[in-house]
Structure 1
Amino acid sequence: MRRRSVMVAELRSADVDSSGPARAEELVVLKAVEQRVLWLSTAIIDHANRVRPNPTGLKVGGHQASSASMTSIMTALWFHSLTAEDRVSVKPHASPVLHAINYLLGELDESYLTTLRAFGGLQSYPSRSKDPDPVDYSTGSVGIGATAPLWGALARRYVEGRFGGAGTGRQYSLLGDAELDEGAIWEAIQDPMVPGLGEAVWIVDLNRQSLDRVIPGIAADKLHGMFAAAGWQVLTLKYGHLLEELFTRSGGGALRARIDTMGNPEYQRLLRCSAGQLRERLPGNGSTAQSIAELIASLDDASLLAALRNLGGHDIGALMDAYDAVDDTRPTVIFAYTIKGYGLPTEGHPQNHSSLLTADQMTALADRLGLNLGHPWTRFADGSAEAALCTKAAKRLRRPGYTLQQAPTVPTDLSRAAPTGTGNTQQALGRVLLDLTRRAPEAASRIVTVSPDVSSSTNLGGWLNKVGVWSPTERPNWFADDAETILHWREQPTGQHVELGIAETNLVGVLGELGATWSRWGQPLLPIGVVYDPFVNRALEPWSFGIYAGGQSILVGTPSGVTLAPEGGAHQSITTPSLGIEQPGCVTYEPAFAIDTEWCLLTALGNLGKTDGSSAYLRLSTRPVDQTLAAVPTDPAARERRRRHVTAGAYRLRQHEKPVVTIAAMGALVPEALAAADRLAALGQAADVVCVTSPDLLFRALQARRGLSDDPTWILDQVFPLDRATPLVTVLDGHPHTLAFLSTIQNVPVSTLGVTKFGQSGAIEDVYRYHNIDTDSIVTTALDLID
């Protein structure tokens, strides 16, 4: 255990003087740093909105109040508790506080302080990939940034256990109380993997406000119980030392009960009162009103106003004690009561979320803090105790550099004979992974698969039996001697498969962090997540955010479409084929045959774990398909040419001397396209057939041809040459708009077939007919175009 552990439900700050002069001096210096952080974060937002020229008049925005409620929490954390191995996810609206701290630590040049939300400047929310200063986790997507350190802890343990170099360290999440409304939060804390992650520490900024209002009942006790039931240590910082001292006086118990039981809106309203008004309102109308009135009568106005605001989340000493009391054997959540807008004229106002201080208010704040609004970026004077503290913290937090290990070489072709008989693309996934363990063991050693309780049903069983299940500690396999057990569940630190509970958000959260290890510790992994394709949309937003944050991974959606006919509309996926076109940092593939799957998967693996890498999405099917339809060339050069076409986005599967129509098909619908071409030929109408493996790459090539990108364009010339332009029929098991753009390559008439309505249970033939993607529909559509 790195720090001392205590089992407590609530921490209270002791009086400053009781800790001795050294502690008191440290607190004075930290308080001065906190005030400078408050000023800088407020001024960063002020400059962006009030000072920087804004010819469009469009609101720039920023969150001065949300930043102010975090200044104490973050000051105590960075300037007292953090180590170089710790990582912190900062709540989105507190990004100016992070930049202010990095500025004081010498990690951000002054020139950037005027660039909040400007092009190329400081981002609206912390961005690991776009901000110029150190950011551990990208946030901004509520709930996703908060949970990321849990998966970061898992990824760190995986890397440290297999390769070393990831060290130790806590993983902090700083989040607002309203963020606890997000389902992703509760999916994460309940996952079976999480209770063992003792390095995870969440600090909840409990300011009891959301964007538009004071939250009437924050139900803190309920939240405490939910975290405790999930196995977390729960620490509460409700009151600071001023209030705690008042509570010990005559009438103090009544005052505590009065504040404890009053509703959030009433408390917030009291923050807006003058001292005179507070003396009238705070005692209330109950039987204890007289004793409370007598107690506060002993205080001068300044002390009374300060005491009401003295919550635990703004008491530096209480925060330091809480950080030192974290139990590193289990996750910890610290509920820190705060005031939104603390220290600003807008503090406690129910509409202060996006309000901005006026010029007069900024001037008054500068005067109160002894600063100059005309020179807002003043650092602490050399030789001062505050400057010395900043220097000491910067030295403590300086991380050693790392050498980026080169990602393993992944073969582009396993050189196996083209499959014969029937098979499906989902089966090919598991077979390729097993083949890699034999033919490219170094690359296979870097692969880690993740699934939400669907490993066996998505054909990962053989791979799992080979490499084992990852667990921080070895666990007994109680079914090892059961002869009827086919899936061998060996849980051990050397395993390469991570099995999570049934929550797609958690799956892609882990994928994002496993895919970022190359940039965190220089150790590239090749993560593959497998999920039922109908649920990819549920996972898309957090997966996208992981890509934005620098994570590189492969997401496999299988089985897919209405081709899983007996499952009906509940398990269909319509929009997923176009996701890769719409998702930055990702290439999408939908192979039709096993050999296509192999080539696409190997290419995707080869693009992971590097500075210019890319994520990938593979949409696979369980439909048995005659593999000889792929007509894979036996000549080595011709085979390689086919492979290059497959991994570039498309290849010609049938080619006639004088075609009158072209059928472009994708995935499970290729057999119908070929059957339709045969029937059209029998009618004297020659049809070319193009097998599309990546609409994403074809679209990029088309954009490049128009001068909008620098992607290669050669695939268009070879698969869709202008001298073979004919009317075009597109067909896929998904929304037809996915392939509609293909007609613009040759500027030809087009009819698009696909799925546009909810599915029905039934045989494939019936379901395809229902959606007009069967062979008859393709033939009819082609004849209409020819005529």
Structure 2
Amino acid sequence: MTIAPIRAMHSAEQSAEESTVEPRPADDAVFATRRDIEGRLLWLSTAIVHHANRVRPNASGIKVGGHQASSASMVSIMTALWFGRLRAEDRVSVKPHASPVLHAINFLQGRLDAAHLPTLRAFGGLQSYPSRSKDPDQVDYSTGSVGIGATATVWGAIARRYVSEDAGRPAGRQYALVGDAELDEGAIWEAVLDPQVAGLGELVWIVDLNRQSLDRVVPGAAADRLQQMFASAGWQVLTVKYGALLEGLFERVGGAALRERLDAMSNPEYQRLLRCTAGELRERLPGAGPQAEAVAGLLGQLDDATLLAALRNLGGHDLAALDGALAAIDDRRPTVIFAYTVKGYGLPTQGHPQNHSALLTDAQYDELAASLGMDPRHPWERFPAETAAGRLCAQTAARLERTAVAAVAPSPVPVDIGRTPTGSATTQAALGRVLLDLTRAAPETARRIVTVSPDVSSSTNMGGWVNKVGVWAPSERVDWFHDDAETVLHWREKPTGQHIELGIAETNLVGLLGELGATWSRWGRPLLPIGVLYDPFVQRALEPWSFGIYAGGQSILVGTPSGVTLAPEGGAHQSITTPSLGIEQPGCTTWEPAFAIDTEWTLLAALSRLGRSDGGSAYLRLSTRPVDQSLAMVPTDPAARERRRRQAVAGAYLLHRAEAPQVTIVAMGALVTEAVQAAQRLAQQGVPADVVCVTSPGLLFQALQARHGQGTGESWILDQAFPADRATPMVTVLDGHPHTLAFLAGIHQVASRTLGVSRFGQSGSLQDVYRHHGIDTDSIISAALDLAL
């Protein structure tokens, strides 16, 4: 069998020219067996979607959906990988719309029972897209949010190195099977361009270059540009464009003209030819250029079946060519393989510009079954064990068998280090202080902590921690500023470092957080990952971080500085809506501490929930505003201190108790100072006020839901922070959107005023900005008097 050559770009300097890598000679018997499996995977993946839409009862009548065409374009690639080159230590991120192929592979290996195959997109069944946490079979990476599945392999590679005994040696490859339209996502290029990625030789991306997106044929021939972009970032670039049949034709008289014609052809024109009959092809394919006669002469020598097959004979469907590409991977640097494919290959819908979500009709389904030798009435069939394909499936299952990951309990986290802060302090600075305290009070726990930052370590008060633990790198690097007396932040890079610095890309930060937060389940090595970024940019990172939580990654995200308290910096650096994340984000608890001691207690509580099957993630919203720590009035009695700690962790505590309150001021974070001042001035006017300090609106909302029978949590914190016998009209105030705390008035159905920030900020002094948004002391007093008098 003739093997299609593979074109490789070896560096950015060589990107303008291509060299040929010759794959090993094909073993006809080996590839014949793989082709049998390829056909069965095409059938099973198509049948899984067909059954979900046209066989399973559907009372609602709403389309179930699925992606037969997107799966079909990946069948050859996944056959070549799983049944040829994949090893047990490798991990694979499968493009979202090819999930049926993954389940079919697991079924043929005996890793998934046939009873699951009819359950695609059913409640409790196979998920719409691969899911580590919800699918019943082995899934390495959750995908579904376009682009994130591909970049997850980058962060998975770094996380694997971080927990490895030898950080410089890859432990298995990290494959990502990527749709070409996914390369439109900015997150892809933020990851590719991060300086650390060029050294990840275990990274292999295979691009399914079918030249279609959801709605259309991609108009431009962008492959060359994409290849050059990867090569410029230091990647090895391999291209598998044509299959053996076409390569053989290229060697014949007129073949050079045919190659030139196909290479120059636009994507839409090629896709249109896929819909043509053989007769139409003979008219259209030669084109109108000077080489048309030579092309027509070659086509005239082919029968109709060969002509139709040749047009579709792309490298991404040639198992030998794909195997050669996989054999040519250079493990010294990341690799991307561009595999040209036909979307819907092997289906009646192949190449149609609107085939993305198209479903085969019953007649087309029966026709496909007949062509593949399958019985549509009994679609779920494995190969008999005694056949060559059956033996290969069994051998593949044995080769890919993994040792079960032993659960390792994370180191215990103390609940209270014992320090009582004094003077004036910020919650942002308290974060770094707590991390340093942990290195002395709980060194085993501290060794599990890994911090990540997008180039804001010094500006978020992480300098002391970085100096203490060092910066992680696969190998030790020279610190050329170690003897510079004016250098405050010491950048010591070594394999034992515990801080990872990324470029200015928040999506990269949370992508890495998600994978560091999954090492407990992937490798049995629980880590305590903390990511620190500016709070205004939390929302930029929220979608990929949320997806990481869904995929099982447990981490702590710290947003600081926050709110309009960054008064001089104006709206560009002021966050408004982030306080409500704890109410709205599944799998995450949000805390916004007002005092340094609250920061310590809530951070320790968040750390204790990481790296465990019943754990979860956390978001801490911190401030750069100095606050008088004496306002916290931390009890000196040990029992009373512990009671305060439990309340702070649970969501709120009564900070200031009036004799006979006429109004309750509820404040969060930096605005506690104004709340206390307002209570003092109200008392002078004969309007006593309680002050409640809220640390977590999300936990309070859960408690209220539980009280109403709509959740399984406990509601004791409501009785302690908002006792019924002290229920009065309520003023809520925070440095964020006022709706965050508005629900609290519903605890006892009291009248309320909600103060906060609902407009983009202005630059100015703190007093001016607070006054502008109506969250200053005078505004709190005015709202309280309106309610109390």
Task: Please report the TM-score for the alignment, with normalisation by the length of structure 2.
Answer: 0.97
Paired amino acid for 1:145 = G
Q: Distance in 1 between matches of 2:104 and 2:171?
A: 26
Moved more, 4-13 or 341-350: 4-13
Contact 1:5 1:327 (8 Å CA) reproduced: no
Contact 2:8 2:20 (8 Å CA) reproduced: no
Q: Distance in 2 between matches of 1:11 and 1:782?
A: 77
- In structure 2, the residue matched to 1:495 is 497
Q: CA deviation at 1:139?
A: 0.5
Contact 1:269 1:348 (8 Å CA) reproduced: yes
Paired amino acid for 2:701 = F
Q: CA deviation at 1:296?
A: 1.2
Q: Distance in 2 between matches of 1:586 and 1:11?
A: 50
User: Aligned match of 1:129 in 122, 126, 133?
Assistant: 133
Paired amino acid for 1:577 = P
Contact 2:31 2:320 (8 Å CA) reproduced: yes
Paired amino acid for 1:158 = Y
Q: Distance in 2 between matches of 1:125 and 1:503?
A: 26
SS at match of 1:69: helix
Q: Distance in 2 between matches of 1:615 and 1:170?
A: 28
- Work out whether 1:169 is the aligned partner of 2:172: yes
In the TM superposition, what whole-angstrom CA distance separates every residue of 1:677-727 from its partner, at most 9, and x where no partner exists?
001100100100000000010001111111111111100111111121111
Q: How does 1:159-308 map to 2 (within 5 A)?
A: 159-161=163-165, 168-308=171-311
User: Aligned match of 2:509 in 507, 510, 518?
Assistant: 507
- In structure 1, the residue matched to 2:695 is 693
Contact 1:14 1:241 (8 Å CA) reproduced: no
Q: CA deviation at 1:550?
A: 0.2
In the TM superposition, what whole-angstrom CA distance separates every residue of 1:332-363 from its partner, at most 9, and x where no partner exists?
11110000000000000001000000000000
- In structure 2, the residue matched to 1:104 is 108
Q: CA deviation at 1:477?
A: 0.2
Q: CA deviation at 1:750?
A: 1.1
Q: Distance in 1 between matches of 2:191 and 2:145?
A: 15
Q: Distance in 2 between matches of 1:433 and 1:5?
A: 50
Task: Please report the TM-score for the alignment, with normalisation by the length of structure 1.
Answer: 0.97
- Work out whether 1:39 is the aligned partner of 2:52: no
- In structure 1, the residue matched to 2:68 is 64
Q: CA deviation at 1:14?
A: 7.5
Q: How does 1:703-742 map to 2 (within 5 A)?
A: 703-742=705-744
Q: CA deviation at 1:218?
A: 3.5
- Work out whether 1:82 is the aligned partner of 2:86: yes
Q: Distance in 2 between matches of 1:179 and 1:333?
A: 14
SS at match of 2:165: helix
- In structure 1, the residue matched to 2:54 is 50
Q: Distance in 2 between matches of 1:163 and 1:708?
A: 47
Q: CA deviation at 1:12?
A: 7.2
Q: Distance in 1 between matches of 2:597 and 2:51?
A: 58
Q: CA deviation at 1:6?
A: 8.0
In the TM superposition, what whole-angstrom CA distance separates every residue of 1:531-569 from its partner, at most 9, and x where no partner exists?
000000000000000000000000000000000111111
Q: How does 1:434-445 map to 2 (within 5 A)?
A: 434-445=436-447
Moved more, 359-368 or 742-751: 742-751
Q: Distance in 2 between matches of 1:673 and 1:688?
A: 10
User: Aligned match of 2:149 in 126, 133, 145?
Assistant: 145
Q: Distance in 2 between matches of 1:40 and 1:783?
A: 70
Contact 1:5 1:328 (8 Å CA) reproduced: no
Paired amino acid for 1:389 = L
Contact 2:161 2:167 (8 Å CA) reproduced: no
User: Aligned match of 2:97 in 93, 96, 101?
Assistant: 93
Contact 1:10 1:236 (8 Å CA) reproduced: no
Q: CA deviation at 1:300?
A: 1.1
Q: CA deviation at 1:657?
A: 2.6
- In structure 2, the residue matched to 1:560 is 562
Contact 1:93 1:125 (8 Å CA) reproduced: yes
Moved more, 61-70 or 287-296: 287-296
SS at match of 1:365: helix
Contact 2:221 2:266 (8 Å CA) reproduced: no
Q: Distance in 1 between matches of 2:582 and 2:91?
A: 31
**Residues 46 and 394 of structure 1: CA distance in aligned 2, closer, same or farther (over 3 Å):** same
Contact 1:10 1:237 (8 Å CA) reproduced: no
User: Aligned match of 1:622 in 619, 624, 630?
Assistant: 624
Q: CA deviation at 1:161?
A: 3.4
Moved more, 707-716 or 733-742: 707-716
- In structure 2, the residue matched to 1:314 is 317
User: Aligned match of 2:32 in 7, 11, 28?
Assistant: 28
Contact 1:650 1:694 (8 Å CA) reproduced: yes
User: Aligned match of 2:344 in 341, 345, 351?
Assistant: 341
Q: How does 1:757-776 map to 2 (within 5 A)?
A: 757-776=759-778
- Work out whether 1:357 is the aligned partner of 2:363: no
Q: CA deviation at 1:162?
A: 7.6
Q: Distance in 2 between matches of 1:372 and 1:13?
A: 41
SS at match of 1:663: strand
In the TM superposition, what whole-angstrom CA distance separates every residue of 1:194-242 from its partner, at most 9, and x where no partner exists?
1111101111100000111111103111111110110000000110111
Q: How does 1:561-710 map to 2 (within 5 A)?
A: 561-710=563-712
Q: CA deviation at 1:163?
A: 9.8
- In structure 2, the residue matched to 1:327 is 330
SS at match of 2:775: coil
Q: How does 1:448-597 map to 2 (within 5 A)?
A: 448-597=450-599
- In structure 2, the residue matched to 1:400 is 403
Q: CA deviation at 1:13?
A: 9.3
SS at match of 1:472: coil
**Residues 13 and 303 of structure 1: CA distance in aligned 2, closer, same or farther (over 3 Å):** farther
Contact 1:48 1:117 (8 Å CA) reproduced: yes
Q: Distance in 2 between matches of 1:10 and 1:617?
A: 48
Q: CA deviation at 1:382?
A: 2.3
Q: CA deviation at 1:11?
A: 8.1
Q: Distance in 2 between matches of 1:356 and 1:183?
A: 30
In the TM superposition, what whole-angstrom CA distance separates every residue of 1:363-411 from its partner, at most 9, and x where no partner exists?
0000000110000011112200000000000000011112111101000
Query: RMSD over aligned Cα, in angstroms?
Result: 1.5
Paired amino acid for 2:692 = V
Contact 1:452 1:501 (8 Å CA) reproduced: yes
Contact 1:574 1:756 (8 Å CA) reproduced: yes
**Residues 487 and 13 of structure 1: CA distance in aligned 2, closer, same or farther (over 3 Å):** closer
User: Aligned match of 2:119 in 115, 121, 130?
Assistant: 115
Q: Distance in 1 between matches of 2:476 and 2:421?
A: 38
Q: Distance in 2 between matches of 1:5 and 1:776?
A: 71
Q: Distance in 2 between matches of 1:758 and 1:184?
A: 27
Paired amino acid for 1:170 = R
Q: Distance in 2 between matches of 1:287 and 1:146?
A: 43
Q: Distance in 1 between matches of 2:321 and 2:600?
A: 57
Q: What is the count of residue pairs matched by the alignment? A: 778
Structure 1 consecutive aligned stretches of length 4 or more whose deviation exceeds 4 Å: 4-15
Identity across aligned pairs (percent)?
A: 72
Contact 1:11 1:318 (8 Å CA) reproduced: no
- Work out whether 1:375 is the aligned partner of 2:378: yes
SS at match of 1:741: helix
Paired amino acid for 1:541 = E
Contact 2:238 2:335 (8 Å CA) reproduced: yes
Contact 2:578 2:736 (8 Å CA) reproduced: yes
- In structure 1, the residue matched to 2:13 is none
Paired amino acid for 2:99 = S
